[in-house]
Structure 1
Amino acid sequence: MAIDSILDTVRAGMAQERLRLDAASRNIASANVALPADGSAQRWQVGAGRDFAAQLQAVPADTREVSDPGHPMADAQGFVHYARVDMVQEMTTLMTASRGYEANVRSFNMLRGMTLRALDIGAK
């Protein structure tokens, strides 16, 4: 039935946007977490398949160094390593994913209202 395929598409869109929100929020949260001296930074991103099946993936990321010899995670040269996070990009992702999720919710609610109205007309 056509309504089922529309609902499946809306649900897949909502899942995709939720994963984008999750990835961006993880990246922002890790921006000021010190990394071990031998550790590498990870950046979260959403990969999408042909069938709208999206998954959250961690990929290697660059690091930034801050001179703080008194920090317990400082290396031998006195630098503390953090994940390099582009806050503008991550905040933009948060805003666009939030708006995309809201658009899918509005589509779902509109389809639900039309279906209920059609059932109401058919019952009369």
Structure 2
Amino acid sequence: MSMFKVFDISGSAVSAQSQRLNVVASNLANADSVAGPDGQAYKARQVVFQTMLMGASGSAAGADPGNPVDGSAGVRVSTITEDQTPGRKVHQPGHPAADAEGYVTFSNVNAVEEMVNMISASRSYQNNIEVMNTAKTLLQKTLQLGQG
């Protein structure tokens, strides 16, 4: 595996974790919302990752299927799903969004779970940046050896 593939692999992870952070931010922003754009309560979204085979060119295509050492694996976001758990209901008969029984349905976002998700994504993002910085330092030291 080429040293430069480290940048492709870590770069794909940084991109995926960035999307995950955006989804978490959206969930947290809508944690106490009552109605979304479609008139229904906001449903929490979750990112689903998928392994992506990266070929010699650093893209998902181009790996030699007969040579498994040629291809390396990265990660990408395959889908963003909606959590179908029912939202919490609060009895507020005077609220404009209350149903016939006086209950208001809020989003199903669990703020504590989303904060844990955010910390996990943030640390993964930082770790992959650190991997790229370490690879860059190793490449610079290799070039310095050639100059001496």
TM-score, reference length from structure 2? 0.72
Report the equivalent of 1:44.
Answer: 45
The unaligned stretches of length 5 or more in structure 1 are: none
How far 1:22 sits from its partner (Å)? 1.8
Question: 1:9: how far off?
Answer: 0.8
Q: 1:38/1:101 Cα in 2 relative to 1: closer, same or farther (>3 Å)?
A: closer
Amino acid at match of 2:31: A
Q: What is the letter of the counterpart of residue 26 of structure 1?
A: S
User: 1:61-114 CA distances to partner (integer Å, 9 max, x unpaired)?
Assistant: 321111222222222222211112222221111111111111111111111111
TM-score (norm 1): 0.85
Tell me, which stretches of 5 or more residues in structure 2 are unaligned? 53-74
Supply the RMSD in Å over aligned alpha carbons: 2.2
Greater shift after overlay, 109-118 or 80-89? 80-89
Aligned equivalent of 1:53 = 76
Aligned to 2:93: 69
Percent identity of paired positions between Structure 1 and Structure 2? 26
Tell me the equivalent position of 1:25.
25
Alpha-carbon deviation of 1:47?
1.3
Q: What amino acid sits opposite 1:74 in the alignment?
A: A
Which has the higher mean CA deviation after the structures are superposed, 16-25 or 100-109?
16-25
Select the structure that is richer in helix. Answer: 1
